[in-house]
Amino acid sequence: MSNRQWTLRGEHTEYTVAVPDHGRWLELVSWGPHGVAQGPSPVAYTGPTPFLTAGDYAPVEYATDAVRPFAGAELVVELPNGDRRVSWAFQEATGDDRQLRVTFADRVTGLHAEHRYRFAAGTDVVERWVELHNTGDTALRLVHAASAGFNVPTPHGGRVSYQWGQWAQEFQLDHVDLGQGRFTVGSAQGVPGHLFVPWLAVRDSADETGPAWAVALAWTGSWEISAQRDTGGLTRVTAGRHLTDGPLTLAPGEKLALPVVAGAYSDEGLDGLARVWHTYQRGLAGDRLDRVRPVLYNSWEATGFAVDAGNQLALARTAAEIGAEAFVVDDGWFIGRHDDRGGLGDWSVDDAKFPDGFDAFIAEIRAMGLTFGLWVEPECISPASQLYAEHPDWVYAVDGRPQTLVRNQLLLDLGRLEVAEFVHSTVDGLLRRHDIGYLKWDFNRPRTEPGRPGAVARVDLDGAHVANLHRIYEQLRRDHPDVIIEACAGGGGRTDLAMAARADVFWPSDNTGPLDRLAIQHGFLHANAPHLLSSWVTDAPGLFDPRPRSLAFRFVLAMAGVLGIGADIRHWSTEQRAEANAWIARYKQIRDVIMRGEVHLIGGPDQARCAVQYTSPDGATVVVLAWHTGRLDGPGLLPSRPVRLPLRGLGHRDVYRHGEQQYSGSHLSAVGLPVQWTAEHDAELIVLHRA
Ligand code: GLA
């Protein structure tokens, strides 16, 4: 650390910030590979700013409306009389080359802001957040309270990558060239949501595969990320909470930590950024990465709500036979749950569906060698439930206004202490009473009504819900360390870095149709590691994407992360079961490489070549999963030459074997691994061993 300039170092990345002489803000000097700070700052601006202020152009890290009155601020604070323009004066800085804390204070209100930075060990991800402390004697209203601004040099144009979606079509990776104006994605749903992923990448448009920067949020509620390129060529990304419930109040003496926003840098474009996120999320998983996520069978697509011991045991027997390791009973096992109109809230086993008792049923599953898993959706409530009859005031509602049903259900106000206790004790009780090793925690409706009946003052409903959700997950992980937790929200509606740190795996989409799923997983893996990607083999043609693909295609696709089966395997032929058995056995051999390997995303779902390469940490094993996308505009058309998959990150002189065939690393990268598609042969799993 030098006088008012500090450099933080990650694995290959450094991030340098400074407080200018006037002391009114912290600004970026450079963000890039080690050594990037030597040379003129790519983001500094000293030119004229007619009709704007210097702060509107400066690469400010966390701007109030006093600093950036026109171009947009991260923090807007209002006093009771309506006054705004909180203004910083530098106080002090502490830290080392891994973490930094720079404090500013506002003379008028006594508001302090600690700008916090931390490089997660062994990664190229800098975590940023701000801690506010009201040291004055007046309550302050936070009208806008984002977590961070990130400044990215884009002298030739800003190219933004983002992911949009909807239910059954999440994680659609798309790109836009920033013109003038603001590009914003977000959610006002009280969850990250299906519509956009809290992740955004920026590159200079003249540099498609070179330096790339991305941000992602660790916030499981409403959020916003926006990108704006100024006329001087700087793209500024602002990320943080979206205050759907109105301004937050910061009472005298009160402190507030805003959510972490993570910033990633890679020299290797979007594909390189994916690896940076993967390393980071493996770190978030900690030693829970070591636990094997079981090959599971989930009965949802086979039996829907019509769960009973007979059909589940029949499915479980076949699942065990083909090599599954866990059996998950999805929705429909509890009283009053015959369709989506009832039952939520009354979390007791429907004895009529398990006439010999639930524990005897679980014991039978366990006797087949399977871990038992169960679906829950504990934050939701059916109006017809007993719970609702007893506690109608537990749901979000605005006095005097109609309540909105989504999927025929209401939402519990998890921010209330008694509701949080109910939700925790419900799930904890199930885990204590029964032999459960896998939990699928679902959430099938966003919050619509921003109200708590009877509340006398404004409540930060979003913040309270998220805080209690995180706390309950943490308690469950602590008290039931062997239970694997899958986070789901009608598919991928609750996927963010805070959940990646608390859940073991995500259910990214209800859509398992092969070609749709290929696109969903392609987007997902750009922002999320394979250990978080739950994927099932389902029947073809399936519920969503009617374009059939071979069983091989569906298996290789589901192997890209954590393999599961969701098909109605009771009806599978002996040949299909044998094929499934062989795929599952192969998966078990390679899954460690999938979970820990260095990922390279090759091509994409709308290109003639589409594959994912996983290289084991020691470089000795390379697993390539490849799919025929059905595009007829590339090589592979009979009788043409095969598709070539360019592999990355291999030693040029190293030799890799696949059966009798040998390839040099140079050949695999410059010429590519050949794959010959035909109508019948539409997927490949290739394992290369370094000689
Ligand atoms: C959601 C989930 C599905 C399934 C159903 C059950 O849609 O995403 O996987 O669990 O709920 O109702």
Cα(420) to centroid(ligand 1), Å:
22
Q: How far apart, in Å, are the Cα atoms of 680 and each of 58, 487, 519, 550, 626?
A: 58, 35, 21, 7, 14
Ligand 1 pocket test target in 328, 438, 444, 534 with most atoms within 8 Å of CB: 444
Look at residues 349, 432, 429, 421 and name the one whose alpha carbon lies nearest to residue 391: 421
Under 8 Å between Cβ of 497 and 217: yes
Say how far apart CA 133 and CA 255 lie, in whole Å. 4
Pairing of strands 212-217, 683-690: unpaired
For residue 325 the two structure tokens come to 């390791």
**Least confident range of 153-157, 185-189, 544-548, 655-659:** 544-548
- In 139-254 the beta strands, taken as DSSP E runs, fall at 140-153, 158-164, 172-178, 182-187, 199-204, 212-217, 223-229, 234-241, 248-250
377 lines ligand 1 (CB under 6 A): no
Rounded Cα–Cα distance for residues 150 and 598 (Å): 27
Pocket test for ligand 1, best of 166, 298, 300, 307 (most atoms within 8 A of CB): 300
**Edge-to-edge strand ranges of the sheet holding 621-627:** 598-603, 610-615, 621-627, 683-690, 655-658, 661-664
Does the beta carbon of 300 lie inside 6 Å of ligand 1?
A: yes
| Distance from C-alpha of 127 to C-alpha of 89, rounded to nearest angstrom | 23
Find out whether the beta carbon of 504 lies less than 6 Å from any atom of ligand 1.
no
* Cβ count near 51 (within 10 Å): 7
Q: Which residue lies with its CA nearest to atom 1 of ligand 1?
A: 490
pLDDT in tens, 582-635: 999 999 999 999 999 999 999 999 998 999 999 999 999 999 999 998 776 555
- Sequence-distant (6+) residues with CB within 8 A of 159 are 175, 176, 177, 178, 202, 203, 204, 205, 208
Q: Where are the beta strands (DSSP E) in 523-658?
A: 534-537, 562-565, 598-603, 610-615, 621-627, 643-645, 655-658
* Arithmetic mean of pLDDT, 430-453: 97
382 lines ligand 1 (CB under 6 A): no
Ligand 1 contacts CB of residue 334 (under 6 A): no
What one-character-per-residue DSSP string does 77-141 give? EE-TTS------EEEEEEE-SSEEEEEEE-TTT-EEEEEEEEEPTTSSEEEEEEEEEE-SSS-EE
Q: Cβ(149) to ligand 1 under 6 A?
A: no
Distance CA 457, CA 610 (A): 54
331 C-beta closer than 6 A to ligand 1 = yes
What residues have CB less than 8 Å from 204, skipping those under 6 apart? 153, 154, 155, 156, 157, 158, 159, 210, 211
Å from CA of 509 to ligand 1 middle: 9
CB 342 within 8 A of CB 406: no
3-state secondary structure of 614: strand
pLDDT at 540: 84
Residue 546, phi then psi, degrees to nearest 5: -80, 0
Instruction: State whether the beta carbon of 512 lies less than 6 angstroms from ligand 1.
Output: no
Say yes or no: CB of residue 449 within 6 Å of ligand 1.
Answer: no
Q: Which residues contact 322 (CB under 8 A, 6 or more apart)?
A: 565, 569, 577, 580, 581, 584
CB–CB of 354/430 below 8 Å? no
pLDDT digits (tens, 9 = 90+) for 557-570: 999 999 999 999 99
User: How far, in Å, is the centroid of ligand 1 from the Cα of 499?
Assistant: 18
* Average model confidence (pLDDT) across the chain: 96
Per-residue confidence band for 2, with pLDDT thresholds at 50, 70 and 90: low
Q: State the virtual CA torsion across 138, 144, 148, 153 in degrees, nearest 10.
A: -130
**CA distances from residue 366 to 56, 156, 363, 369 in whole angstroms, order as listed:** 63, 60, 5, 5
Query: Strands 643-645, 621-627: parallel, antiparallel or unpaired by DSSP?
Result: unpaired
Mean pLDDT of 102-110: 98
Q: Which of 442, 494, 544 to mutate to test the pocket of ligand 1 (most atoms within 8 A of CB)?
A: 442
Q: What is the mean predicted confidence (pLDDT) over 95-103?
A: 97
Supply the DSSP string of 180-204, one letter for each residue: SSEEEEEE-SSSS-SSB-SEEEEEE
How far does residue 548's CA lie from ligand 1's centre (Å)? 22
Reported confidence tier of residue 391, pLDDT bands at 50, 70, 90: very high
For the CA of 375, the nearest atom of ligand 1: 10
* Ligand 1 atom closest to residue 340's alpha carbon, by position in its atom list: 12
- For ligand 1, the distance from its centroid to the CA atom of residue 334, given in whole angstroms, is 15
Contact 56 CB / ligand 1 (< 6 Å): no
| C-beta neighbour count of 174 within 10 angstroms | 11
User: Do 114 and 105 contact (CB within 8 A), yes or no?
Assistant: no
136 lines ligand 1 (CB under 6 A): no
Q: Could you give the 3-state DSSP secondary structure of residue 255?
A: strand
Q: How are beta strands 326-329 and 296-298 bridged, if at all? A: parallel
Which ligand 1 atom lies nearest to the CA of residue 491?
8
What is the average pLDDT across 375-384? Answer: 98
Nearest Cα neighbor of 218 from 1, 497, 8 is 497
User: How high is the pLDDT of residue 634?
Assistant: 55
Q: Is 469 helix (H, G, I), strand (E, B) or coil?
A: helix
Whose Cα sits closest to atom 7 in ligand 1? Answer: 490
- Choose among 149, 150, 98: nearest CA to 124: 98
pLDDT of residue 633: 57
Question: What distance in Å separates the CA atoms of residue 438 and residue 329, rounded to the nearest whole number?
Answer: 10
Burial class for 58, CB neighbours closer than 10 Å (0-12, 13-18, 19+): buried
- Ligand 1, atom 6, lies closest to the CA of 331
User: Which single residue is written with the structure tokens 């706390």?
Assistant: 471
Find the mean pLDDT for residues 286-312: 97
Pocket of ligand 1 contains residue 488 by CB under 6 Å: yes
Answer yes or no: is the C-beta of 307 below 6 A from any ligand 1 atom.
no
Residue 508: pLDDT above 60? yes
Ligand 1 pocket test: which of 494, 505, 510, 520 has the largest number of ligand atoms within 8 Å of its C-beta? Answer: 510
Label residue 499 by pLDDT band (50, 70, 90): very high
Ligand 1 pocket, residue 510 CB under 6 Å: yes
Give every strand in the sheet of 371-376, ordered side by side: 505-506, 484-487, 438-441, 371-376, 326-329, 296-298, 562-565, 534-537
Strand partners for 487: 441, 506
Ligand 1 close to Cβ of residue 170 (< 6 A): no
Instruction: Return the pLDDT at 632.
Output: 61
Q: How far is CA 612 from CA 81, 560, 633, in A?
A: 57, 8, 20
Tokens (6 digits) for 521:
């997983």
Residue with tokens 């005897």: 360
For the segment 208-215, the average pLDDT, to the nearest whole number, is 95
Whole-number Å distance between alpha carbons of 645 and 642: 9
Instruction: Decide: pTM greater than 0.95.
Output: yes
- Ligand 1 pocket member 496 (CB < 6 A): no
Share of the chain above pLDDT 70, in %: 98
pLDDT at 328 over 60: yes
Q: Which is the closest atom of ligand 1 to the Cα of 440?
A: 10
- C-alpha dihedral sign at 447, 450, 452, 458: positive
In the predicted structure, residue 374 carries a pLDDT above the cut 90:
yes
* DSSP states along 261-320: EEEEEESSHHHHHHHHHHHHHHHHHGGGGGSPPP-EEE-HHHHTT---HHHHHHHHHHHH
Q: Which ligand 1 atom is at minimum distance from the Cα of 444?
A: 1
**Backbone torsions φ then ψ of 382, nearest 5 degrees:** -90, 135
Do 629 and 677 form a contact (C-beta atoms < 8 A)? no
Q: How far is the CA of 254 from the centre of ligand 1 (A)?
A: 40
C-alpha closest to that of 243 among 487, 510, 463: 463
Q: Of 68, 83, 66, nearest to 138 (Cα)?
A: 83
Looking at residue 680, its pLDDT comes to: 85
Q: What is the pLDDT of residue 208?
A: 85
CB 209 within 8 A of CB 203: no
Take atom 9 of ligand 1 and give the residue whose Cα is closest.
Answer: 510
Give whole-number Cα distances, 522 to 87, 217, 270, 275, 512, in Å: 44, 20, 12, 13, 13
> By alpha-carbon position, which residue is closest to atom 11 of ligand 1?
490
